[in-house]
Structure 1
Amino acid sequence: MPLLIDILGMLGAGVLVYAYAMLSMRRLSGDGLAYQLLNLGGAIALMINSAVHLAWPSALLNLVWCGIGILAVRRVMATRPWRREV
């Protein structure tokens, strides 16, 4: 189990770095759903890893990061042009 948690943390860090690199190279838009989902996924993985390893400052930081990510994903989803009104 500890190995899986470490792998999860490494994947989360990799996803965050990948998202930032794609944003910096203008391959992803900061307002886009793909960037926001990558950011949210990486933060969730790092939050779990940090909590399991009792790294509470990092876990709290990633909890806040997840909250921001959830709000950003909701905003992107709410403003998407293909959204149907019911």
Structure 2
Amino acid sequence: MFFEIIGWLGTFAVLLAYFLVSFRKISSNSKEYQLLNLFGAIGIILNSAIHGALPSVGLNITWLLIAALALYKIAKK
């Protein structure tokens, strides 16, 4: 049950990030957007790994790395 909740929270975070950018509430270059994507990916990775959904794990590891790199670039500014 714990990993189901984590997975749903991760999904919500990624969808919220997409919604906020799509409706110009936040910028895709913002720390908030990248953090939502980072934590969303972590939640989905944990849930997917428990269920053996390896393609989803791979996709979200990539998603996490992109968000982490973007956060690094933001922090350097």
Measured against the shorter chain, the TM-score band is: over 0.9
Q: Which amino acid aligns with 2:20?
A: M
**Structure with greater Cα Rg:** 1
Q: Counterparts in 2 of 1:1-86, with a 5 A limit?
A: 3-79=1-77
Residue 46 of structure 1, CA deviation? 0.3
Q: Which has the higher helix share?
A: 2
Unaligned runs of 5+ in 1: 80-86
CA offsets per residue over residues 34-84 of structure 1, 9 Å max, x none? 1000111101110111011110000011011111111010011111xxxxx
CA distance in 1: counterparts of 2:48 and 2:10, whole angstroms: 11
TM-score, scaled to structure 2: 0.97
CA distance in 1: counterparts of 2:16 and 2:53, whole angstroms: 23
Residue 18 of structure 1, CA deviation? 0.6
CA distance in 2: counterparts of 1:20 and 1:58, whole angstroms: 18
TM-score, scaled to structure 1: 0.87
Residue 9 of structure 1, CA deviation? 0.3
Structure 1 stretches of 4+ moved >3 Å: none
Unaligned runs of 5+ in 2: none
Residue 8 of structure 1, CA deviation? 0.5
